[in-house]
Structure 1
Amino acid sequence: MKYVFTFAASEFVNFRQVEFYSLLELCGIQPDADTVSNPDGDCWSRPYLVVNLADDEQAKLLIKRSVLIKSAYELWCDAPSITELMEKVSELPDTLASKYLGCSNTYKVVISSANRKMKQEDKLKIIEDVLNSHRTLDAKVSLQNPDYQLNILMDYAPQNWKERSIKGDILRHVYYGRLVGSSDRRVMLNSYRLADRAYLGNTSMHVGLSGIMANCGLCEGGSLVWDPFVGTGSILLAASVWGAFGAGSDIDYALLHGMGMSPKAGQGKRIPGECLRSSYRQYGLESRYLDVIIADAATLHRLLRTPGCTEQVSCSSTSVTVCNGGLFDAILTDPPYGFRESSRRIAGKELEREASLVSQDRLCEITGLPLPLLYSDEELKDELLPVPHDLPHFPHKEAYPLSESYHDLLELAVRLLRPGGRIVFWIPAVRSIFDGLQSLPRHPRLRLLGACEQVLNGRNSRFMLVMTKLFEGEPDEIKMSEDVYFPAIKLLPPTC
């Protein structure tokens, strides 16, 4: 059966294909050459997508948790113009009319358009013409509570489409069908707004993008998800909305413990108990919260070890980690890349510093011990005293180069992901010097499934990369496919 999916207006256009095929896998639907109509054309940049599915239930299941798909319709007929559509409506089988438009049914008709705002009188005229084209129409109209909703979907060319006429709008295609269901995207975007969240940071991920990452990571009930740069946990939270158990790590002690200033205007310091657990509690998801730890992502593999990991020499004479086991179903993360947050790691060498001098009262506060236990009476005559070196302290940190950061992240994914598990993460790009696939990080035991660009400004952008860990026996990935590379510029309609 043919169905029409409507996408959210020009929002994250080049993320659509990756999310769609990820949802197919989540629903256990095996795609084939006929699943998507005209997959090699510009269907992914258009507001409507025609797909072939088994039945209504499969369509509802597929779109339920989608962030980019709004609704699904059973496609009755479609045409390049209203006149041709009316001809096809008159040829619809009687079985369709008797099932949905019989005398015992009620219905209403809704018309919507993409890339053009239509006048109400124009809409009513089209609805009347289409209804009059039916050979039989015995159902009664019910605008408040109809049994079935019929939709006319108008696809107009966008303003900067190269074939657009100066004289007027161009109707590219029109679809006619029955509403099957709507996704929960609006519920998720409204219910989990960052502005309402108890625990927030300056770089908390957009709710919609977090949802896309969770879908691309195949996060579902019972999945175990890790974020090695967890921050305020906005990505983990999106995964847990769909039943996944969330855990992660971060090097920032103050952030994980809710210390310091809040990014919320007028709040000042963070309130006591402000942490990732409080966000989970806020949304009734605390049962899906595992824990977070303070750890350096560069050395995290020493803490979270997986049996069966070995070092092998690849064809390029470099050492490659191979691990046929795994702890996690998915790794979802947004590493700091220097735009708003600096990338740091524990320094490889200890930094020798002179002892800090503090007042006697401050030293008592730091140590929690009476001063006579630390210093002699002669030393206590000084106003400032050195802090003892054997006290607990934060390790010295150093800059973490991006190339090393992503190399370590992919190594971590190979060690910690189960075979078939996915890693979804972001990398920055300077658009003027970015060299496509050649600029993307890679690992021979990870297959690239999607690289989707989000333009940040005229100079910078970032890519969401989706990779899956290969199973034992699968050959190493030597070359990345251009079919999974989705830069933003390709999907923007060309200007006149």
Structure 2
Amino acid sequence: MALPCKTGAAFKKYLLLLAQENCEFRMPEIKSLLSVYGGHFNNLQDAHGKSPFCILNLPSEEMARKLMKRTVCAKSVFELWGHGKTFTEFQQSVLSYPLEKMMPYLQPNSTYKIIIHTFNKTFTQKEKVEKINAMEFLPFQGKVNLQNAENIFYVLEDYGSDPNKAPKEPFEIFFGRWIADGQRELINSYSVKKRHFIGNTSMDAGLSFIMANHARVKPNDMVFDPFVGTGGLLVSSAHFGAYVCGTEIDYNTVHGLGKATRMNQKWRGPDENIRANLRQYGLEKYYLDVLLSDASKPVWRKAPLFDAIITDPPYGIRESTRKTGTQKEIIKTDLFPESHVPVQLNYHLSEIFSDLLAFAAEFLVTGGRLVYWLPVYKPEYTEEVLPRHPCLKLISNCEQMLSSHTSRRLITMEKVKDFEEKDQHAHLADGQYLPYQGHNSFREKYFSGLKKRTVREERARSEMVNAENVISKRKEDA
């Protein structure tokens, strides 16, 4: 899991307290954010897959603070003073921490408090006080201030991933000085429930911020969503200071018309649109525009325009997969009259992903990132089915469960080489798009598992055979 990193005296150990949701997304987010600030991911310890504790080597406290100003997957970061698997080992580790690094926070004219944090086990207040008193081996000289302490210290205990089988003693104990909290409050303040304009597939606020962090969105970046919908992914990028734009094929969605998604509201209001969402959060200055356009037919000048492409393509579940076109052979080349309405055709998932990667390869700046969701039917999933392109490098692949047999994977790719004309028609190897071929192929698998579909097909085949037998018998009798 760890990437190589040169560590020396300038590096210090920091402890991350991670959130317990979207666990697969946590480390890729931290890696991406560290790369934004010129740091390297150096994971010294990650006890188990769902552990909330992760020890990192970071060059400075400033970088730790920068990290926490962006992350929604981490709750807090601490300057780690010591840790151990037993209390004796823990005590020795803390006492071995350089005294000259401790003393600025233990001065007589300072105030402090100690907080006990336990993972998957609860304790009474009396038991917590006993744990605090056990830290008296440290030379605290300041005064205790529980309301407004200058220095806050944490004792953190890990009791494993199963709260029903928590051991009597913790698997590991950590002690550190609190540095900063993450941006978990953004999940509530940007909640879709409070948003002015929403749709059936509006992205969860937490996931939209994770996607922006995976894409390494920075101030003054230009971020694009080719399947923008109600613009939920634009909001998170604009929050981080990026200028946002998108395209959408559905006229009603772009203009905020038609039936409302909210309960007890029949029609959308006159001011329900993507721009109003950005205005709601004071981010309207970052709104460039949203075009009524077909993602399969890019309208942009051919050049690297975007620093990041962040999108959630339609799967055919709640939103249909459509593109403009015609099944008829075009004889005339005359311009269409103004009253012409383009015909819409089925847009197969295999085409969606091949077009998306080709678009990213051509229109992303080198070093820019493509972040998108890939629906997966688990019995058929292998890494070989992941869309690939010679200009794009796979950075991370994180799974979110949808049902017992389906999930979706957040794919992050980075443009690593300039686009050339020979890359224009780069496609996957034969068979790699097989799970996504055919209209509504994923939809059918989503609503019906492979076994159910097989049983249904066998029943239909059996009924057809029986019908044929009945017909032939009647002919013989006649």
Separation (CA, whole Å) in 2 of partners of 1:267 and 1:142 = 50
Offset at residue 122 of structure 1 (A): 1.6
Offset at residue 87 of structure 1 (A): 3.5
Offset at residue 340 of structure 1 (A): 1.5
Are residues 1:453 and 2:463 paired?
no
Q: Trace 1:378-389 onto structure 2 (pairs within 5 A).
A: none
Q: Which residue of 1 aligns with 2:79?
A: 74
Change (3 A) 1:202 1:120: same
Q: Which residue of 1 aligns with 2:352?
A: 405
Q: Which residue of 2 aligns with 1:443?
A: 389
Offset at residue 473 of structure 1 (A): 10
RCO higher in structure (CA 8 A, sep ≥6)? 1
Offset at residue 396 of structure 1 (A): 1.4
- The gaps in structure 2 that reach 5 residues or longer are 1-11, 331-335, 430-478
Are residues 1:2 and 2:6 paired?
no
**Kept after mapping to 2: 8 A contact 1:97/1:137:** no
**Kept after mapping to 1: 8 A contact 2:391/2:418:** no
Separation (CA, whole Å) in 2 of partners of 1:61 and 1:439 = 36
Residue 258 of structure 1: which of 256, 274, 277 is its match?
Answer: 256
Q: Deviations over 1:25-53 (max 9, x none)?
A: 1112144xxx2104xx6555311110111
Offset at residue 479 of structure 1 (A): 12
Q: Which residue of 2 aligns with 1:47?
A: 52
**Kept after mapping to 1: 8 A contact 2:376/2:407:** yes
Separation (CA, whole Å) in 2 of partners of 1:15 and 1:51 = 17
Over the matched positions of the two proteins, sequence identity in percent amounts to: 37
Q: Trace 1:167-186 onto structure 2 (pairs within 5 A).
A: 168-169=167-168, 171-186=170-185
Q: Secondary structure at the match of 1:298?
A: coil
**Kept after mapping to 2: 8 A contact 1:237/1:280:** yes
Separation (CA, whole Å) in 2 of partners of 1:452 and 1:296 = 28
Q: Trace 1:231-310 onto structure 2 (pairs within 5 A).
A: 231-300=229-298, 303-307=299-303
Offset at residue 191 of structure 1 (A): 1.5
Q: Deviations over 1:143-162 (max 9, x none)?
A: 0111100100111112289x
Q: Secondary structure at the match of 2:380?
A: coil
Partner AA of 1:15 in structure 2: F
Offset at residue 432 of structure 1 (A): 1.8
Separation (CA, whole Å) in 1 of partners of 2:237 and 2:328 = 38
Offset at residue 124 of structure 1 (A): 1.1
Are residues 1:114 and 2:114 paired?
no
Separation (CA, whole Å) in 1 of partners of 2:160 and 2:355 = 45
Offset at residue 194 of structure 1 (A): 0.6
Offset at residue 394 of structure 1 (A): 2.9
Q: Which residue of 2 aligns with 1:15?
A: 25
Q: Which residue of 1 aligns with 2:44?
A: 37
Separation (CA, whole Å) in 2 of partners of 1:170 and 1:454 = 33
Are residues 1:230 and 2:228 paired?
yes
Length-normalised TM-score, structure 2: 0.81
Q: Which residue of 2 aligns with 1:85?
A: 90
Are residues 1:154 and 2:157 paired?
yes
Partner AA of 1:338 in structure 2: G
**Kept after mapping to 2: 8 A contact 1:86/1:129:** no
Partner AA of 1:60 in structure 2: R
Offset at residue 259 of structure 1 (A): 0.6
Partner AA of 2:29 in structure 1: E
Q: Which residue of 1 aligns with 2:374?
A: 427
Partner AA of 2:141 in structure 1: D
Are residues 1:338 and 2:338 paired?
no
Separation (CA, whole Å) in 1 of partners of 2:419 and 2:295 = 28
Separation (CA, whole Å) in 2 of partners of 1:409 and 1:93 = 53
- The gaps in structure 1 that reach 5 residues or longer are 308-325, 353-388, 481-496
Separation (CA, whole Å) in 1 of partners of 2:379 and 2:419 = 39
Q: Secondary structure at the match of 2:388?
A: coil
Are residues 1:143 and 2:133 paired?
no
Offset at residue 238 of structure 1 (A): 0.5
Separation (CA, whole Å) in 1 of partners of 2:15 and 2:346 = 49
Offset at residue 115 of structure 1 (A): 1.6
Residue 68 of structure 2: which of 40, 63, 82 is its match?
Answer: 63
Q: Deviations over 1:251-280 (max 9, x none)?
A: 001111101111111121000021101111
Q: Deviations over 1:335-387 (max 9, x none)?
A: 001122121111233599xxxxxxxxxxxxxxxxxxxxxxxxxxxxxxxxxxx
**Kept after mapping to 2: 8 A contact 1:87/1:133:** no
Q: Secondary structure at the match of 1:45?
A: coil
The farther-off stretch of 208-217 and 49-58 is 49-58
**Kept after mapping to 2: 8 A contact 1:17/1:44:** no
Offset at residue 92 of structure 1 (A): 4.3
Length-normalised TM-score, structure 1: 0.78
Change (3 A) 1:478 1:180: farther
Separation (CA, whole Å) in 1 of partners of 2:114 and 2:161 = 25
Residue 25 of structure 1: which of 35, 39, 45 is its match?
Answer: 35
| Corresponding pairs, count | 410
**Kept after mapping to 1: 8 A contact 2:14/2:57:** yes
Q: Trace 1:300-379 onto structure 2 (pairs within 5 A).
A: 300=298, 303-307=299-303, 326-350=304-328
**Kept after mapping to 1: 8 A contact 2:306/2:364:** yes
Q: Which residue of 1 aligns with 2:436?
A: none
**Kept after mapping to 1: 8 A contact 2:387/2:428:** no
Change (3 A) 1:293 1:351: farther
Partner AA of 1:334 in structure 2: D
Change (3 A) 1:92 1:201: same
**Kept after mapping to 1: 8 A contact 2:229/2:253:** yes
**Kept after mapping to 2: 8 A contact 1:350/1:396:** no
Q: Trace 1:213-224 onto structure 2 (pairs within 5 A).
A: 213-224=211-222
**Kept after mapping to 1: 8 A contact 2:159/2:170:** yes
